[in-house]
Amino acid sequence: MTMTSKERVQRALNHQEPDRIPIDTGGWLSGICYIAYDNLKKKLGIESERRWLGWITGTVQLDEEVLQRFHVDTRYVYPKEAADYDPQWRDGNSFVDEFGIRWTKPPTSYYYDQETHPFEKLGINDIEKYDWPDPKAKGRDIGLKEQAKKISDAGYAVLTVVPGPFEFTQYLRGMGPLFMDTIENPAYFCKLLDKVTEVLIGLNDRFLDTVGEYLDCFLFFSDYGNQRGSLINPKSWRKLVKPREAELVKALKRKTKAKIAFHTCGSAWDHLDDLVEIGVDVLNPVQISAANMDPYILKKKYGDVLSFWGGVDQQEVLPKGSPERVREESRKMICALGKGGGYLFGSCHNIQNDVPPENIIALFEEGYNFGKYPLLCK
């Protein structure tokens, strides 16, 4: 029986086998960067204007023609900034986000880096005085309910992506000072993290009051991992960060029945038991090139309690491999993570600008053709 995309995603994330493994691309953390997408459109004979999705990540909105060609089951809806938000663009390559962080694109880069960290020199008494985004500001929910309902009524799964507390606290404070705070100034670390958590919960409450009934998966990102392990001492994380992210997950689950997904690049192994404990349902991505991220081991140990999202290697296979190597890697990930459901197929992260269009086509064609149940895995 052929399912709708929404049914397919829901069934997979409930650890049941749908008619085929659902396919994802086009999101803020699972999309395609602009040069790679321009090359893909040229290869496919598609002409359209470039529509930016994420300035910071260099991703673009995908054309519906491409999404349908690749049998993509997901569509995205995102929270909006306040109506009076002013990005303060400078020279076309620098802007300020709602939290007051200036992001700038260096001339030799595809991406925007943080130019300023507002709390780099602010003290603990400045936290409450800071000009935080107002969750009640006008404009945040304009058109979102209609957009989410339209996607859902069309039979697609509705997803969103938002920042998590640790990630944005790091942006505000700066990575070096923040990690030093965990040792030298934990009271400051906790108070700033508490405030960021409070603001994000307020913003998400407003968003979920508007679209929560239509959402199928809610992804928040708080990168902890590198290639070898955790960026932050796991003991410090459990003491300082885990309670705040547990508070966020609890708040999200009060407002929506959507599955809660957590994004961290690199090795997530040291945090998986804790993420399950606080109520995370889905791990994004599965960066198999990082330590302790073997997909077969992950599926065996956590496949009953976590679903997995992504996984096809973005560091070596997609940019440097042949189309057949991409197809081989796609089949490997499907066999490792797809049995019994619990898998959303796609690249490990955003498809970068050095990925040739032939490999993008091979990725999604193989995900669709090989991902039909029953899986033909040896």
**34-43: b (≥16 Cβ within 10 Å) or e:** bebbbbbbee
Give the pLDDT of residue 92: 87
- 102-135 pLDDT, tens digit per residue, is 999 999 999 999 999 999 999 999 999 999 999 9
Residue 212's SS3 state is: coil
Q: Name the region of 370 (left: φ>0; alpha: ψ -120 to 50; beta: rest).
A: alpha
- 196-249 pLDDT, tens digit per residue, is 999 999 999 999 999 999 999 999 999 999 999 999 999 999 999 999 999 999
Give the pLDDT of residue 238: 97
Distances (CA, A) of 325 to 17, 190, 280: 26, 46, 32
- 30-55 pLDDT, tens digit per residue, is 999 999 999 999 999 999 999 999 98
Distance of CA 15 to the CA centre of its chain: 20
**Number of separate helices (H) and strands (E) present in the chain:** 14, 12
Give the pLDDT of residue 41: 98
Residues in contact with 245: Cβ distance below 8 Å, sequence separation at least 6, in sequence order? 164, 165, 166, 197, 222, 278
Give the pLDDT of residue 288: 93
Helix axes 165-173, 175-184, angle to 10 degrees: 100
Q: Is the pLDDT of residue 326 over 90?
A: yes
Give the pLDDT of residue 341: 98
To which residue do tokens 């889905």 refer? Answer: 282
Give the pLDDT of residue 243: 97
- 244-299 pLDDT, tens digit per residue, is 999 999 999 999 999 999 999 999 999 999 999 999 999 999 999 999 999 999 99
- 157-209 pLDDT, tens digit per residue, is 999 999 999 999 999 999 999 999 999 999 999 999 999 999 999 999 999 99
Q: How confident is the model at residue 153 (pLDDT cuts 50, 70, 90)?
A: very high
Q: Is the pLDDT of residue 1 over 80?
A: no
359 touches 351 (CB < 8 A): no
SS3 content of the chain, % helix, strand, coil (to 5): 40, 15, 45
Q: Is the pLDDT of residue 330 over 90?
A: yes
Distances (CA, A) of 199 to 21, 133, 169: 36, 7, 11
Give the pLDDT of residue 20: 98
Q: How confident is the model at residue 2 (pLDDT cuts 50, 70, 90)?
A: confident
Question: Strand 259-263 and strand 74-76: pairing?
Answer: unpaired
Give the pLDDT of residue 51: 96
Rounded to 5°, the CA angle 263-175-25 comes to 25
Domains and CATH numbers, the chain: 5-82+123-370 (3.20.20.210)
